[in-house]
Chain A
Amino acid sequence: MLLLGEIKGLIYKEIILEWRQKYAFNGLMLYIVGAIMIAYLSFSLHQNQLNPITWNALFWIILLFSAVNTIAKSFMQERANRLLYYYILASPQAIIIAKIIYNILLMLFISFVGIGGYSLVLGNPVQDLPMFVGNLLLGALGFSSTLTMVSGIAAKANNNVTLMAVLSFPILIPMLLLLIRVSKNALDGLDRTTSFNELFTLGAMNLIVIVISLLLFPLLWRS
């Protein structure tokens, strides 16, 4: 399996690169911890006083901004010459799949650090934790697959950071709304069957985004 080999190699490369220049990764961790501290201090709360709706919305907004900031750089780090080098070495499908998988790993890490820190300072009113974590996984998957493609598009426009935000926010809103709804259900400990519709739609949306990225990325890559 040539494609699998390429994907493995590319993911390995991404991880090594990230490890070598730790400032990006550390910066990211600081970003999310800083955002959580700002949220905590600006509400000037003691533990467990935020009502669940606010708790939930705030958490997802922090996660959304961290995700956009993290994944925005997935094509920006690369210099033009290096991109040309990949172009010779690997197929575009392998590159986009590797980027998506790597971003999913990164997002998962961010999500767990995020929920850990967030619960620590703002309390954790979640009643159905497995459901909440499952939803978090779906969210990480959806955010990273959507944003990877968008960052590829934004990278073509001279790595414009504003453009990245403008393009990705409206596209992420439907996904974000579903995620917020499911996690609200999990917060309230509602019966799991109530969220099935939303979970199914989320899964379908993730699938659509990934398939479209696979189809479109080769075209984007070639230009």
Chain B
Amino acid sequence: MLKKISWWKYLTMLLLLYTLLAGLLVDVPNMKTGNLYQTARALYFHVPMWFGMSILLLISVVNAIRHLRTFNKVYDYYAEASAQVAMWFGVLGLVTGAIWAKFTWGAAWHGDPKQNAAAIAMLVYLAYFVLRSALEDPEKASRISAIYNVFAFAVYIPLIYILPRLTDSIHPGNGGNPGFNSYDLDGNMRKIFYPAVIGWTLLGWWFSTLLVRLKKIKAKQENIQYTKTIEVASKPQIQDTL
């Protein structure tokens, strides 16, 4: 028996199915004449990763602030889980970007400001996980990492959205290079791009909720274990000599 699942999960599956089929099959502009050939399809897979990552990190920081205000453990689970999923989105974004760059720019790592900024952003958030694991007391860990989370987000925004725009960049949509808008004359790409962004982001949120459930179960398990050890310890011991 399948458990009933919420409507937005069906929507996610539908949108991603549509993204996969339409993204790989529908014609892209400049397909036969331009030198980009099929690489424009990266728009449906690479770009949504960064949208998804940013949205998940926003969710993470909002939950970190809620945790700091209420000290409710659940908000911390959400903050950590969405940051974890955001990291995977970041990894996928870097990999898909590198594949695209291999064909368009000629090298997988071109040292473009946007590529570098994304890598630094990953380092900032990986430090968040290191900090989490360095703190032994779980209460303290969730609290201090929430503080760092807010700090990291304040660095992430200028890093991703302001700095690459100050430099010359060959990334599409930056430094005078056209984004997809100028090629997308009949609006076909837009019809796939926006559903793709929503679909991937919802998928990320779905993963986060699963991770949160896992964390809750683990916490409960630990609690049971803990009470058991206390019970055992508090029982009067029967002496071996008897």
Q: In whole angstroms, how far apart are the Cα atoms of A204 and B161 in the complex?
A: 14
Q: Which of B120, B130, B150, B159 contacts A216 (CB 8 A)?
A: B150
B154, A208: Cβ atoms closer than 8 Å: yes
Q: Which of A149, A201, A204 contacts B151 (CB 8 A)?
A: A149
User: Does B238 belong to the interface (CB within 8 Å)?
Assistant: no
Residues of B within 8 A of A49 (CB): none
Of the listed stretches B7-15, B141-149, B186-194, B227-235, chain A binds B141-149
Known: A156-B140, A160-B134, A178-B163. A219 touches B68 (CB 8 A): yes
A156, B144: Cβ atoms closer than 8 Å: yes
Q: In whole angstroms, how far apart are the Cα atoms of A204 and B155 in the complex?
A: 11
A219, B143: Cβ atoms closer than 8 Å: yes
B124, A171: Cβ atoms closer than 8 Å: yes
Determine chain A's interface SS by DSSP, over half rule: helix
User: Does A9 belong to the interface (CB within 8 Å)?
Assistant: no
Residues of A within 8 A of B134 (CB): 157, 160, 163
A174, B143: Cβ atoms closer than 8 Å: no
A170, B127: Cβ atoms closer than 8 Å: yes
A205, B151: Cβ atoms closer than 8 Å: no
Residues of B in contact, count (CB < 8 Å): 25
Q: How far is the CB of A161 from chain B (nearest CB, A)?
A: 12
Q: In whole angstroms, how far apart are the Cα atoms of A208 and B152 in the complex?
A: 12
User: Does A83 belong to the interface (CB within 8 Å)?
Assistant: no
Q: Which of A160, A170, A201, A219 contacts B166 (CB 8 A)?
A: A201
A167, B144: Cβ atoms closer than 8 Å: no
Q: How far is the CB of A218 from chain B (nearest CB, A)?
A: 10
Task: List A residues 166-223 near B (Cβ within 8 Å).
Answer: 166-167, 169-171, 173-174, 177-178, 197-198, 201, 204-205, 208-209, 212, 216, 219-220, 223
The residue in chain B whose Cβ has the minimal distance to the Cβ of A171 is B155
User: Does B22 belong to the interface (CB within 8 Å)?
Assistant: no
User: Does B158 belong to the interface (CB within 8 Å)?
Assistant: yes
Q: Which of B135, B152, B163 contacts A156 (CB 8 A)?
A: B135
A212, B151: Cβ atoms closer than 8 Å: yes
User: Does A96 belong to the interface (CB within 8 Å)?
Assistant: no
A174, B127: Cβ atoms closer than 8 Å: no
User: Does B26 belong to the interface (CB within 8 Å)?
Assistant: no
A174, B154: Cβ atoms closer than 8 Å: no
A157, B147: Cβ atoms closer than 8 Å: no
Q: Which of A169, A174, A216, A219 contacts B158 (CB 8 A)?
A: A174
Q: How far is the CB of B212 from chain A (nearest CB, A)?
A: 23
Q: How far is the CB of A172 from chain B (nearest CB, A)?
A: 9
Q: How far is the CB of A155 from chain B (nearest CB, A)?
A: 10
A170, B130: Cβ atoms closer than 8 Å: no
User: Does B2 belong to the interface (CB within 8 Å)?
Assistant: no
A223, B140: Cβ atoms closer than 8 Å: yes
Interface centre among A167, A178, A220 (most CB of B within 10 A): A167
Q: Which of B117, B127, B159, B166 contacts A166 (CB 8 A)?
A: B127
User: Does B123 belong to the interface (CB within 8 Å)?
Assistant: yes
The residue in chain A whose Cβ has the minimal distance to the Cβ of B143 is A223
Q: Which of A169, A201, A204, A223 contacts B144 (CB 8 A)?
A: A223
Q: Which of B124, B130, B158 contacts A205 (CB 8 A)?
A: B158
Q: In whole angstroms, how far apart are the Cα atoms of A165 and B217 in the complex?
A: 34
The residue in chain B whose Cβ has the minimal distance to the Cβ of A175 is B155
User: Does A71 belong to the interface (CB within 8 Å)?
Assistant: no
Q: How far is the CB of A169 from chain B (nearest CB, A)?
A: 8
Residues of B within 8 A of A35 (CB): none
Q: In whole angstroms, how far apart are the Cα atoms of A171 and B124 in the complex?
A: 6
Known: A174-B159, A177-B163. A209 touches B154 (CB 8 A): yes
Residues of A within 8 A of B (CB): 149-150, 153, 156-157, 160, 163, 166-167, 169-171, 173-174, 177-178, 197-198, 201, 204-205, 208-209, 212, 216, 219-220, 223
A-B contact list, 14 entries, CB within 8 Å: A157-B131, A157-B134, A160-B134, A163-B134, A167-B130, A167-B131, A170-B123, A171-B151, A173-B123, A178-B163, A201-B166, A212-B154, A220-B147, A223-B143
Give 10 A-B pairs besides A178-B163, A212-B150, A223-B140 with Cβ atoms closer than 8 angstroms: A156-B135, A157-B135, A163-B134, A170-B155, A171-B151, A174-B163, A205-B158, A208-B154, A212-B154, A219-B68
User: Nearest 9 CB-CB pairs, A to B?
Assistant: A170-B123, A170-B124, A157-B134, A174-B159, A166-B127, A167-B127, A173-B120, A216-B147, A171-B155
